[in-house]
A and B are shown apart, each in its own frame.
Chain A
Amino acid sequence: MLAGYDTLITAIALGAILAYSFHIVLMAGQLSLAQAGFAALGAYVSTLVVPVEPLFGSLSPVLVGLPVGATVGAAAAFLLGLPVLRLRGVFLAIATIAFGEMVRVFLNNVEWTNGPLGLRVEKWVTVDFAWIVVAVLAYLVWRLGPSRTGRAFAAVREDELAAGSMGVDVVRTRMTSFVASGAIAGVYGVMFAYFFGRITPASFDFSLMLDGLVTAVVGGYLVFFGPVIGSGFLTAVPEIQKALGLEAGWIHPLVTGLLLLAVIVFLPGGLSTLLARVHRRPRPVGADEEDAFAGLPPLPAPGMTIARLRGVEKRYGAVRAVQGVDLEIRSGEILGVIGPNGAGKTTLVNMISGLVPPTGGEGDVLGVGLGRPGLAHRFAGAGVSRTFQHSKLFHRLNALDNVLVGAHPIARPTYLRRLFWLPSARRDERRTLALAWAQLRRVGLADRAHLRPGALSYGDQRRLEIARALAGRPTLLILDEPAAGMNHVEAAELAALIRSLAEDGITVLLIEHNVRMVLETCTRLAVMNFGELIATGEPRAVAADPKVVEAYLGAPEPGESEHV
């Protein structure tokens, strides 16, 4: 029945393979466009090793080429990634485009590639062979989705800063997606060479890159079969056009462009979201929190020093945001940090959670030294977890998935085991799920687990952030103005929640403007003004300290106080 459509069906498969190499970086939010270069390198190198006769009489010789292409592509991606992955957004896009063009010019000008004339090889790739490769790729991506690694990809895509604070090694995750993309692009190059039987440097140009990107986006990069849908759809357009008798060459690019525009404007997740139940309600997993946390090392006993800062300073140019702060945090306490706006509270906790390195002084938090940038995930791994002043939830993940990312520091990697359906992977995933559900219940959001953050009220968003921060079972939980925007009933509930966390042995560092709540909740207060710590101690005593009163209300004019 499909006879005569072989070429078309194989072309769909090839388009899907190319789109997968974009899909995998888009999943991690990286706009990397070097795939044409990786594919070219994979294709050209594979022609040096692929035998001219079938293996053992019957196997496709391309089987030799695929691992070689994948290795070449991955190696090229790794080497390119070392310098360029410091770049983000459009800068990364442009640098990777430049790489692709450099590869093309290079291949045009060296001897062994036969320059612009290109190389001829046998057409070994058949329909079945191409679709087997697509099936393998789709399987690999499908199993990636709900694994620890897949969640790390999604977290980095949505918000790198928050991902790092949840324990995700952002640099490594970006590199992983980059290298995987290189490997898939290398495979595509080999498939391309042995399907068309000819490669030239111009085969792997800017327009190939655009085709791959467009296919990946039209199909959608949030669902694992997106590339197949995208490729099938875009390859079908010219066929339908032919069937309708529209032969003019300009109709195809016109229709493709209009469709792409329509998809990106009206269907941001791509066509595959029409077919996949992206917003399906997750089923609660019931194990209680005790079980989920079983097997983890116990929290430190109350009263131990878990963080120590000495003379810590942070300067931005001439501005001293924080200076000369000496502070110890002891386990089990609820330490409130208060101070007027701009006093340096958030900068201080950014240093304690590893987001910004101090410019002076020293300190360590749970055994991790302050100092080097880009290591927020190490702090999270050691047991520091936080919420943000302006909530940094992962907007395209539902509430449950947000909390699942938070469990990253204590979840076990499951991807490789998931590929082989090992029961232990399933057990580990269920345990992580149970943990996330327990936190959602704790903050009262279990019935809203399927909603995205945008659909939650402001107070619910703040609670969700707390649940996410709790899922990694932190030793030290940092809450940056959690009650901002809450009404007094919600704030009272929040205060009760914080006290119950302390009863569980979690140390809490609370930045808050709601002084009444701070006085009722905290066991110790630290007051900041102009970047300096001006008082620490027992809440009532600190609140009565004249220096503190002055910082909040201003110094009385001389002689004024008698009249008041």
Chain B
Amino acid sequence: MVQQLANGVFAGSIYALFAIGFTLVFGILRHLNLAHAAIFTAGAFAGIELAVRADLPAWAMFPAVAAIGAAAGLVLERTAFRPLAGRDDEHFAGLISSIAFGGVLIAVLQARYGTEPRSFPLEYFPNRLYEVAGVRVTLTQILTLALALVLMLGLAWLVSSSPMGRAMRAVAENPTAARVLGVNVGLVTAGTYALSSGLGAVAGALLALNLGQADRGLGASIELIGFAVIVLGGLGSLWGAMAAGLVLGLAEALTVHWFDSAWKGMVAFAVLFAVLVLRPRGLFGGAAVREV
């Protein structure tokens, strides 16, 4: 039971890390970026490639993956979102163009890596096992939790206290007014995508490290859970996404414990559905959420 809860926390921290990038873009730019899952997958493959080919140790691999993710985010913004800015159907078209970008990215990954799963080298990350209060945890899981926490807190600090974060919040509130007051909206938009995608790529590499391998479907497997997390947390709310990621991870772990793993998939969606119908702002969402 306690073991299950602990596993739920680790799964939940990856969900949360995936979801904060997703929700960051929505919160600031009102774009639902459906290419996020593809960037997540790309991050996983990039991590493995860096480990296998360049022999980078983990401490250097994650920042490199973040940089690659950020670069992909810039390309994404440039090709799939910027050309649509100001159009009547901007939001709808952005949804479609991000699906297209995600499809292209996955196809490129397939061209480079084929359809078989790729693995991290054996012994890449020390596979030590600890026992804390009767719960077995691996070093990878500890790293996951620690990294997720650091990144989430860092992001929260960035958005709330840095000049860049202030500009982002201004754009979220009113892009036109922000522009008039001298905020470089184009730069903030690009920066938001870079940040979001960097986080998404790191989340992908982390999940791959936990699993030991990655395949093309890695992002798709977490994408729907990601929806559930951001809605549960209130679309656009960073703290909400973090809390909701943990809640969903725990809920899934408990469903497996009490019922049957076959019903695991149902939990996220039943919760998601109920929240949307009863409380569209999400459990943790404030009044700031606007509908598109």
Query: Measuring CB to CB, which residues of chain A are less than 8 angstroms from any residue of chain B?
Result: 31, 83-84, 86-91, 93-95, 97-99, 101-102, 104-106, 108-109, 206-207, 210, 213-214, 217, 248-254, 256-258, 260-261, 264-265, 268, 395-396
Contact = CB atoms under 8 A, between A and B. Distances in A.
A210 B110 CA distance: 19
Interface string B108-135: 1011000100000000000000000000
A335 to B, nearest CB: 34
Contacts of A260: 96-97, 99-100, 103
A211 to B, nearest CB: 11
A249 to B, nearest CB: 7
A252 B110 CA distance: 11
Contacts, number: 131
A218 to B, nearest CB: 9
27 contacts: A84-B277, A87-B276, A89-B91, A90-B32, A90-B91, A90-B95, A91-B231, A93-B95, A94-B272, A97-B227, A105-B263, A109-B260, A206-B220, A213-B96, A214-B99, A251-B107, A253-B103, A253-B104, A254-B103, A257-B103, A261-B80, A264-B84, A264-B93, A264-B96, A264-B100, A265-B93, A268-B89
Interface of B: 26, 32, 79-80, 83-84, 87-89, 91-93, 95-97, 99-104, 106-108, 110-111, 115, 220, 223-224, 227-228, 231, 235, 260, 262-263, 265-266, 269-270, 272-273, 276-277, 280, 291-292
Contact of B96 (A206, A217, A250, A395): A217
Give the most central of B87, B107, B231, B292: most A CB within 10 Å.
B107
A106 B270 CA distance: 11
Contacts of B277: 83-84, 86-87, 95
Given A102-B273, A257-B107, 9 more contacts: A31-B95, A86-B280, A98-B227, A98-B228, A105-B262, A105-B269, A250-B111, A260-B97, A260-B100
Contact of A250 (B87, B107, B269, B276): B107
Nearest to B260: A109
A87 to B, nearest CB: 6
B87 A268 contact: yes
Give the most central of A31, A101, A252: most B CB within 10 Å.
A101
A214 B276 CA distance: 25
Give the most central of A97, A248, A257, A396: most B CB within 10 Å.
A257
B23 to A, nearest CB: 12
A99 B107 contact: no
Contacts of A214: 96, 99-100
A101 B220 CA distance: 13
A249 B263 CA distance: 33
A489 to B, nearest CB: 31
Nearest to B267: A105
Nearest to A260: B100
A248 B235 contact: no
Contacts of A213: 96, 99
Contacts of B79: 261
B272 A98 contact: yes
A98 to B, nearest CB: 4
Contacts of B84: 264-265
A90 B292 contact: yes
B218 to A, nearest CB: 14
Contacts of B102: 257
A261 B78 CA distance: 12
Contact of A248 (B91, B111, B220, B269): B111
Contacts of A254: 103-104, 107-108, 111
Given A101-B265, A206-B220, A254-B111, A265 B291 contact: no
Given A101-B265, A102-B266, A254-B108, A88 B292 contact: yes
Nearest to B32: A90
A406 to B, nearest CB: 20
B96 A109 contact: no
B115 A261 contact: no
B88 A84 contact: no
B110 A253 contact: yes
A89 B89 CA distance: 11
A91 B236 CA distance: 12
Nearest to B220: A206
A212 B224 CA distance: 18
B235 A97 contact: no
Contacts of A256: 103
Contacts of A395: 88
A99 B270 CA distance: 8
A165 B54 CA distance: 64
A29 B134 CA distance: 54
A530 B269 CA distance: 48
A264 B111 contact: no
B100 A257 contact: yes
B96 A91 contact: no
B110 A249 contact: yes
A94 B269 CA distance: 10
Give the most central of A98, A256, A268: most B CB within 10 Å.
A98
A31 B96 CA distance: 11
Given A102-B266, A108-B262, A213-B96, A95 B273 contact: yes
B42 to A, nearest CB: 14
A108 B103 CA distance: 27
Contacts of B115: 249
Give the most central of B79, B111, B260: most A CB within 10 Å.
B111
Nearest to A254: B107
Contacts of B106: 253
Contact of A91 (B83, B100, B110, B235): B235
B272 to A, nearest CB: 5
A251 B111 CA distance: 8
A-B pairs, top 4 by smallest CB distance, nearest first, are A257-B103, A254-B107, A257-B104, A89-B292
Given A90-B32, A90-B292, A396 B97 contact: no
A87 B270 CA distance: 16
Contacts of A210: 99
B273 A99 contact: yes
B291 A97 contact: no
A140 B266 CA distance: 36
A534 B87 CA distance: 43
A116 to B, nearest CB: 9
Nearest to B231: A94
